[in-house]
Amino acid sequence: MEQALIEFYYQFHINQHYFLCHDILEEAWKAQPRYSKEDDVVSLILFSTACYHYRRGNTVGAKRSAQKALSIINLFDKEVHLGLKLEEYRSEIQQLIFNIERKQPFEPVHLPLTEDMVCLIIKHYPDFTFNVEPAVDSYIINHHLERDRTEVHRARHYALMERQQNRQNNK
């Protein structure tokens, strides 16, 4: 999970590729032997989703995701293993919700990382910093629309063929 968090924070702060951030952590989270929708990391997954929606103008989806992120992280008192300053992270989520409700324009979010996490990230990515300029790359902003979905379509096609084959075999 540590490597996924490092990659997540790098993509979140440097490229603001929130869709990719969601995918990075979701894959690492689901690769664990035991996982639950109430794990602390789910809050970050939902928070990156909220940022993705908010930047694209989907304030309903953004607010819903941010509220879920907050409700999950509120399950934790002090101990999280995310490399975040917990109370400051809660404040960031609350501020995002506030901004959404006030119809403020999206601005890149600077997550409150612990010094240990920053050192780990810099060890892997010496150029790590917080990019204050909003991303403008359409591929990043509209990733769910512009990504290559060949594998998804192929998997759906094979799943459909398998279901049809199973129906034929069960007749």
Domain parsing of the chain, residue ranges: 2-135, 137-171
pLDDT in tens, 107-127: 999 999 999 999 999 999 999
pLDDT band at 152 (very low <50, low <70, confident <90, very high): very low
Percent of the chain surpassing pLDDT 70: 82
Q: Residue 155's pLDDT is what?
A: 56
Is residue 44 within 8 A of residue 8, CB to CB? The reply is yes
Q: What are phi and psi of 87, to 5 degrees?
A: -65, -40
Q: How many helices (H) and strands (E) does the chain have?
A: 9, 0
The pTM of this model reads: 0.77
Q: Residue 89's pLDDT is what?
A: 94
Structure tokens at 88: 């400051």
Partners of 113 in the beta sheet? 84
pLDDT band at 129 (very low <50, low <70, confident <90, very high): confident
The CATH architecture of the domain made up of 2-135 is Orthogonal Bundle (1.10)
